[in-house]
Amino acid sequence: MNFNFVPFGTLFAEPVRNGLTRPTSVRGDGYRMVNMGELFAYDRIGEQEMERVQLNERELQVATLEEGDLLFARSSLKVEGTGKCSFVQSPPEVTTFESHLIRARLDRTKADPRFYFYFFQSYHGRATVLTIAKQVGAAGLPGSKLAGLSVPQPVPTIQSRIADILSAYDDLIDNNRRRMALLEEATRQLYREWFVRLRFPGHEHTRITDGVPAGWKRKVLGDVCEEVREIVSPGSIDPDTPYIGLEHIPRRSISLNEWGRVEQVTSSKLRFHEGEILFGKIRPYFHKVGVAFVDGVASSDAIVIRPLDLKVHGLVLMTVSSDPFVAVTAQTMREGSKMPRADWKQMQEYPVALPPDGLLGTFASQIQSIVEQLQTFSFANQRLRAARDLLLPRLMSGEISA
């Protein structure tokens, strides 16, 4: 089956629009704003947490997002990121978007937006956008160039069938992500109950002095874990080795589910092993912390943390991913040449109360059980993505009939 190709702009319901400019100083409350961080972190944007800004009446009319809108990156630190496309799915409230993004709203009588979202995920779609991105370079991707892209136009029923097939995979992935979010919240609640509220098993019969229960030991983080700096060069390891950069670490999540490959990087990186914890040290208030489910290498902008014993693994993981720890780390950042960075020498002095071995083992086993479930869902999503990505180019080319 061969599809006809048309200029992308012929499918627009209205001209494309750039987002709004809002300096950091005026952000804080109001309406949700999709930033570059959300665009690169999520292919489908809906209920994620994001910054908020104020909008006037005119902006509320012209600069908000609807179900089915496509968002494109106007520019990126790397040319390969320019034109990255995300799909707006069921925004729960009024949501706008920032100036580095372009909104494309399609005419539903001609186009199923899901189909074109998947087209721009395909190799052909990405290659088409990158051809333009390389032409404009640092100037960014103008809307006029986006409108001129040549895109396939199967009949709407075929578009919807293809989108239904591919969306089924993404729906399963999103469902697993929601289950993972619930599990992660369970770990945070358990940590807060035991180590913040001090409502651990047997607390009713335990004397607490200066915030430390009787029988517990006053320690610092460096007593129970260490920073690991095993530097490796890309040429010394298998190109298929998983690579986790800061872009792969989601905010406020302990699960490191996605990664690239070493073949995509050119500079020295840090080796990590399954179970070790990665802490994004650039702008730590972004709250990028998680446990690795595989062996691999990480960006040198991460701190690799290794618990000294399996029995303290859960305590270390939940401590360094907790809001109080991230807040303290952000307050004591070391000023780097370009941007502030967390400093392990300061981080390792964070106070930790260590329970007796029996209690510690109970806490560790509960956290480990949840981490294992998170790993199972993570690997299931990897398989779903792989299956979807095998189908994607064949459906988009018409090689497989929908």
* Residue 23 buriedness (CB in 10 A; 0-12 / 13-18 / 19+): exposed
| Mean pLDDT lowest among 31-45, 98-112, 172-186, 358-372 | 31-45
- Interval 308-328: pLDDT, tens: 999 999 999 999 999 999 999
pTM: 0.84
Average pLDDT over residues 329-354: 83
Looking at residue 23, the DSSP 8-state letter turns out to be: -
Q: Is the pLDDT of residue 184 over 70?
A: yes
DSSP β-ladder status, 296-298 and 225-228: unpaired
CB-CB neighbours of 151 under 10 Å: 21
How far, in Å, CA of 120 to CA of 11, rounded? 15
Q: Is the pLDDT of residue 335 over 60?
A: no
Rg (CA), the chain: 23
How far, in Å, CA of 314 to CA of 193, rounded? 14
pLDDT at 48: 87
Q: Is the pLDDT of residue 172 over 80?
A: yes
Strand partners, 303: 279
Any idea which architecture 176-379 has in CATH? Alpha-Beta Complex (3.90)
- The reply to whether 5-153 and 176-379 are identical in fold is yes
Nearest CA-CA partner of 127 in 70, 167, 79, 77: 79
Average pLDDT over residues 152-166: 95
Q: Is the pLDDT of residue 161 over 60?
A: yes
Domain locations in the chain? 5-153, 176-379
pLDDT at 69: 98
Q: What angle do CA 339, 328, 191 make, to 5 degrees?
A: 125
Q: Is the pLDDT of residue 141 over 90?
A: no
Q: Is the pLDDT of residue 80 over 70?
A: no
Judge whether 75 and 140 are in contact, CB under 8 Å: yes
Could you list the beta-strand ranges (E) of 3-111.
Answer: 5-7, 17-18, 31-34, 44-45, 52-53, 70-73, 85-88, 95-97, 101-104
Q: Is the pLDDT of residue 138 over 70?
A: no
Q: Is the pLDDT of residue 1 over 80?
A: no
The two structure tokens encoding residue 220: 């610092």
The kind and range of the H/E element at 13 are none
- Interval 193-216: pLDDT, tens: 999 999 999 999 999 999 999 999
Average pLDDT over residues 223-234: 94
Judge whether 257 and 337 are in contact, CB under 8 Å: no
Q: How confident is the model at residue 137 (pLDDT cuts 50, 70, 90)?
A: low
Superfamily of domain 5-153: DNA methylase specificity domains (3.90.220.20)
